[in-house]
């Protein structure tokens, strides 16, 4: 208890809070449209400097608050299950996971460095390697913590080699107490995008604003469905060639609804339609994308499921209990084994549904174009849509994949050539 008590002192908690604020500021700066490359660059560098200069107790609190600042919105989903009592438990769970990860990096670095020559430099290098490796640590398959993301809207690059240069510059500055070593970060410089990409005028991306509670009520669905068909008709009248609607915008098993299929297929004679819906593969439920073209219907199933939200990552005996207690005995969705690419009007698109678009797995073979369908209704109002957008910008920069994102409960957008363009 005395050892644990040593972590609860004002200095370490305050220092951890400051560090986490600096390492999380880029999310809130973007969320409130206050992003400036020079500001993001300076805040990120200062956050890394203070973190690497800190001892393990401050690392623990830095992890606690980073977890909360980045992912506090996860607990908003509890309100949709009438589980307000679970909110403090969820926050504590998030805080402890990332607090322990950060603490473990500092602890192992300090212990290993004590056996190496030049201990002061060794501990800094090991901590730097730990920060570099954080993006490979995925608690319960959740992989949104990528430290290099702090520079996504800065003058510095987000590739691993660029982040390694930034960390090296900070480490040398701390070791030698000579700020001019920070000049090494010019080797990680990444130019800002200059040319505004042109938006494909043949493409219509739909945003919807349907709260989760209304979305799944059968009594509301006829009105919603009629609205979607009217939007498709409007796109047809505007001579669009492709319309994209959000994730599970038809929250029914479309393959069991001939009426919906007939209505969509009739319209597909005049426009290609990409829409979210459910798919029943026998007794197996899937979260899917339906692609309707003039002479063909393709179903592309989700490959990477949301931890706990769609698939329980716990062992079976715990998973069944959690589903029974927290999700009224609901059955987990099932992921597809294969990534789906499909062609519309001569252009090949990679299919992605919400969470999986932020997974490295979906960028295998560097797809040139990706259509993403999302439902952010579970987490609004919050910073989740902003963090999701920055993660997709990260993958656009890393893989040069143009991303077309149709969303429920937040604005839709296109990401191309390192720029985000919101669409009407």
Q: Which residues are the active-site residues? A: 247, 302, 354
CA angle, 408 then 377 then 213, to 5°? 110
Contacts of 339 (CB under 8 A, 6+ apart): 303, 350, 351, 361, 362, 364
For residue 209, count other CB atoms closer than 10 A to its CB: 12
Q: Find the DSSP H helices in 114-216.
A: 119-133, 160-176, 212-215
Report residue 374: phi and psi, to 5°.
Answer: -135, 155
Contacts of 299 (CB under 8 A, 6+ apart): 255, 279, 288, 289, 290, 291
Please tell me what DSSP assigns to residue 90. H
Greatest CA span in the chain, whole angstroms?
73
Q: Closest by alpha carbon to 166, among 23, 330, 328?
A: 23
Per the CB < 8 A criterion, the answer to whether 260 and 252 are in contact is: yes
Q: Closest by alpha carbon to 202, among 178, 227, 238, 158?
A: 238
């Amino acid at each position: 208890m005395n050892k644990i008590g040593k972590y609860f002192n004002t200095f370490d908690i305050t220092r951890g809070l400051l560090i986490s604020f600096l390492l999380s500021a880029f999310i809130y700066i973007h969320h409130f449209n206050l992003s400036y490359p020079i500001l993001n660059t300076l805040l990120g560098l200062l956050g890394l400097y203070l973190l690497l200069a800190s001892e393990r107790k401050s690392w623990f609190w830095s992890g606690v608050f980073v977890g909360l600042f980045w992912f506090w919105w996860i607990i908003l989903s509890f309100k949709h299950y009438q589980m307000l009592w679970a909110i403090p438990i969820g926050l504590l769970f998030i805080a402890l996971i990332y607090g322990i990860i950060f603490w473990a990096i500092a602890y192992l670095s300090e212990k290993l460095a004590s056996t190496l020559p030049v201990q002061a430099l060794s501990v800094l290098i090991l901590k730097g390697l730990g920060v570099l490796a954080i993006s490979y640590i995925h608690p319960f398959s959740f992989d949104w913590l990528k430290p290099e993301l702090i520079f996504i809207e800065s003058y510095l690059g987000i590739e691993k080699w660029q982040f390694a240069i930034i960390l090296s510059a900070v480490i040398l500055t701390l070791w030698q107490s000579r700020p001019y070593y920070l000049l090494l970060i010019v080797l990680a410089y990444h130019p800002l995008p200059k040319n505004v990409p042109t938006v494909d005028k043949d493409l219509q991306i739909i945003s919807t604003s349907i709260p989760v509670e209304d979305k799944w009520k059968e009594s509301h669905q006829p009105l919603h469905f009629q609205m979607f068909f009217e939007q498709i008709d409007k796109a047809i009248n505007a001579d669009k060639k492709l319309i994209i609607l959000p994730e599970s915008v038809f929250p029914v098993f479309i393959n069991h609804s001939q009426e919906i299929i007939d209505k969509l297929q009739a319209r597909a004679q005049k426009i290609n339609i990409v829409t979210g819906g459910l798919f029943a593969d026998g007794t197996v439920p899937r979260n899917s994308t339906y692609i309707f073209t003039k002479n063909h219907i393709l179903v592309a199933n989700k490959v990477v499921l949301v931890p706990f939200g769609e698939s329980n990552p716990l062992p079976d005996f715990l998973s069944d209990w959690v589903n029974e207690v927290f999700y009224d005995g609901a059955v987990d969705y099932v992921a597809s084994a294969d990534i789906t690419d499909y062609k519309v009007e001569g252009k090949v698109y990679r299919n992605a549904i919400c969470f999986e678009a932020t997974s490295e797995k979906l960028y295998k073979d560097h797809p040139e174009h990706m259509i993403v369908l999302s439902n952010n209704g579970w987490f609004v109002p919050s910073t989740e849509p902003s963090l999701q957008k920055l993660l997709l910008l990260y993958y656009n920069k890393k893989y040069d994949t143009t991303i077309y994102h149709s969303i429920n409960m937040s604005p839709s957008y296109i990401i191309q050539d390192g720029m985000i363009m919101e669409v009407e």
